[in-house]
Amino acid sequence: MSIDEAKETFLRLRPEIDALKAQIKEKRKELKSACSTIYDHLREQGLESIQVGGHLFSLKTTTRIKFTKEDFQALLPNPDDISNYQVTEEKGSIKRVRRS
């Protein structure tokens, strides 16, 4: 596929995908409401889980520890060792250009 074909394909599919996303957004709102009701039912009845069709809803409580990079550096014997724990990743992004 050439760059011109890729641009044409992108411009052709983008509006279609945006329209589908709008439809999905509405359905997700409806689904989120239903899920909230199911979770409320689990809490009220003291249940750990409930099966709905092929899906298992369960409530699980977890405890997390949150700390900043600076907090982590303070725990290290040598703060310069922070580079051993850093990960660099490359991610592509597409942003919509706003026309004025």
Residues 10-19: pLDDT tens digits?
999 999 999 9
Q: Does residue 86 carry a pLDDT above 90?
A: no
The 3-state DSSP class for residue 64 equals: coil
The span from the CA of 6 to the CA of 4, in Å, is: 5
- Kindly report, residue by residue over 54-83, the tens digit of the pLDDT: 889 998 888 888 888 888 888 888 888 888
Could you tell me if residue 35 is left (phi over 0), alpha (psi between -120 and 50 degrees) or otherwise beta?
alpha
pLDDT at 85: 83
Q: What is the pTM of this model?
A: 0.55
Burial class (CB in 10 A: 0-12, 13-18, 19+), 23: exposed
The span from the CA of 90 to the CA of 11, in Å, is: 25
The span from the CA of 38 to the CA of 55, in Å, is: 12
The span from the CA of 21 to the CA of 26, in Å, is: 9
